[in-house]
Amino acid sequence: MPNHHRLIIMGSGPAGSTAAIYAARAELNPVVLEGLQAGGQLTITTEVENYPGFANGISGPELVETMKLQAERFGAIYRPDEAVQVDLAQRPFYIQTHESEYTCEALIIATGASARWLGLASEKKFMGHGVSACATCDGFFFREKEIVVVGGGDTAMEEATFLTKFATKVTIVHRRGELRASRIMQEKAMSNPRIHFALHKIPEEIIGEEYPLRVTGVKLRDVRDNTTSVLSVDGVFMGIGHEPNSKLFQGQLDMEPTGYIITQSKSTATNVKGVFAAGDVQDHRYRQAITAAGSGCMAALEAEKFLEG
Ligand SMILES: Cc1cc2nc3c(=O)[nH]c(=O)nc-3n(C[C@H](O)[C@H](O)[C@H](O)COP(=O)(O)OP(=O)(O)OC[C@H]3O[C@@H](n4cnc5c(N)ncnc54)[C@H](O)[C@@H]3O)c2cc1C
C-alpha cells in the first residue's frame, strides 16, 4: 500500500522548506521529498548576501540547512527521495518515487529550475568561486572586475547589461556570428561602452588559481578555424537560460510553452484543485530565494485552506 499523507511537498529548496515550516506549524505533518539536489540551487553558491535576516550574509548551504532544521523542529519529515511519476487525475494524488509510493490529499510542487551550464569540468570546479548563473545574485561580487557572459539570447544581453553596473568590462561570448536576442536587447547591449563581443567563440576551459580558488581567465576556441585564445577575466556568468523542473507534470498541469507551471493570479493554485506550485518552477521572472520562500509560504497557507475545506 502507498504511504498516505495529507500533504506532500516536492522539493527542498527555499520554496519547499518554507512551505514545510508553515505546513508543519499548521499540524499538517508534511512529508518533503528532497529530490536529487537536497537544499536546491543555493547549495551550489557560496555567499548569499541578499536574504533578509543575515546582516553579514550566510552561505547558501547553511541557509537551506537552517530552513530544513526549522521545518523539522515543527514535525516536517524530510525524505532523501525523488518523485519519478505522478498521477494527478486520481484522488488521492499518486506519487511514485525511487524508493516508495505515496498518496496525498494535497500536493505542493517546489521542484525549482536548473540553470543551463556548459558542462565543463572546470566550470563545476569554480562554481561559486567566479562562475555563476545568476547576475542578480552574484553581480555585486564583481565590482571593478572584468567578466564574461556566455550566450547570445535575451538572457545573456539582460545579464550583461545588468552586470555593467559593477564590472568595468563585460565580454559576451557567443558561438555564432549573429545573436539570437531580440533587436531591442541587442541594441541596448551594443550601445553600452562596457560591453564587448567575442563572436564565433566557445568557452573550452575556465582557468584559475587554486589557493584561494578563483577564476583568472577563460580559454576560448574560435569555431571557424579551431584556434584558441585566453581571455583574462575574474568571472564567468552563464546566460544560456534556465529549465523548470516540471517534466513530471507535462500533460497533467497547465504550463507555459517554456515549461513553467501556470498558477492563478496572486495564488499558487494550479489548474488541478489541491495542487499548488511555488518557487522557480512557476516563476521565470524573479528567480530569487526570497521570492521562492514567499510563494512557498503562500502555497502552504492555500493547501491548509484546501484541506480544511
Ligand atoms: C549559482 C546561483 C547563485 C544564486 N544565488 C542567489 C542569491 O545569492 N540570492 C538569492 O536570493 N537567490 C540566489 N539564487 C537563486 C535561488 O537559488 C533560487 O531562486 C531558489 O533556490 C529557488 O528556490 P526553489 O525552492 O524554487 O527551487 P530550488 O532551489 O531549485 O530547489 C528545487 C528542489 O526541488 C527538488 N526536486 C527537483 N525535482 C524533484 C523531484 N522530481 N522530486 C522531488 N524533488 C525534486 C530538488 O532536489 C531541490 O531540492 C542563485 C542561484 C544560482 C544558480
Same domain, 84 and 9: yes
pLDDT at 255 over 90: yes
**Considering only CA atoms, which of 55, 58, 22 is closest in space to residue 42?**
58
Q: Is residue 297 among the annotated active site residues?
A: no
Same domain, 23 and 61: yes
pLDDT band at residue 189 using 50, 70 and 90 as cut-offs: very high
Ligand 1 centroid from CA 34, angstroms: 11
pLDDT band at residue 2 using 50, 70 and 90 as cut-offs: confident
β-pairing, 47-48 with 228-232? Answer: unpaired
Question: Where does a domain end: 189, 213, 238?
Answer: 238
3-state DSSP: the chain helix, strand, coil percent, rounded to 5?
30, 30, 40
Same domain, 184 and 268: no
User: What are the cell numbers at 282?
Assistant: 512557476
CATH number at 178 reads 3.50.50.60
Grid cell 526570497 — which residue?
Answer: 290
pTM of the complete model: 0.91
Task: For 256-285, give one letter per residue: b (16+ CB within 10 A) or e.
Answer: eeebbbebeeeebbbeeebbbbbbbbbbbe
Grid cell 493547501 — which residue?
Answer: 303
Same domain, 161 and 215: yes
**Average pLDDT of 10-27?**
98
36 within ligand 1 shell (Cβ under 6 A): yes
pLDDT tens column, 57-109: 999 999 999 999 999 999 999 999 999 999 999 999 999 999 999 999 999 99
Same domain, 249 and 109: yes
Which parts of 36-172 fold into alpha helices (H)?
A: 60-73, 121-125, 135-138, 154-163
Nearest-angstrom CA–CA distance, 157 and 260: 21
Same domain, 26 and 165: no
Same domain, 184 and 209: yes
Q: What was the pLDDT predicted at 185?
A: 92
Which ligand 1 atom lies nearest to the CA of residue 113? Answer: 30
CA-closest residue to ligand 1 atom 20: 289
User: What are the cell numbers at 123?
Assistant: 566550470
Q: Is residue 104 among the annotated active site residues?
A: no
Question: Where does a domain end: 238, 261, 279?
Answer: 238
Same domain, 11 and 109: yes
pLDDT at 132 over 90: yes
Range of the domain at 266: 3-114+242-308
pLDDT band at residue 220 using 50, 70 and 90 as cut-offs: very high
Question: Where does a domain end: 238, 267, 287?
Answer: 238
Same domain, 230 and 150: yes
Same domain, 40 and 107: yes
Looking at the structure of the chain, the number of domains it has is 2
Active-site residue identified among 81, 104, 137, 234: 137
Q: What was the pLDDT predicted at 1?
A: 74
Same domain, 224 and 294: no
Q: Is residue 138 among the annotated active site residues?
A: yes
13 within ligand 1 shell (Cβ under 6 A): yes
pLDDT band at residue 45 using 50, 70 and 90 as cut-offs: confident
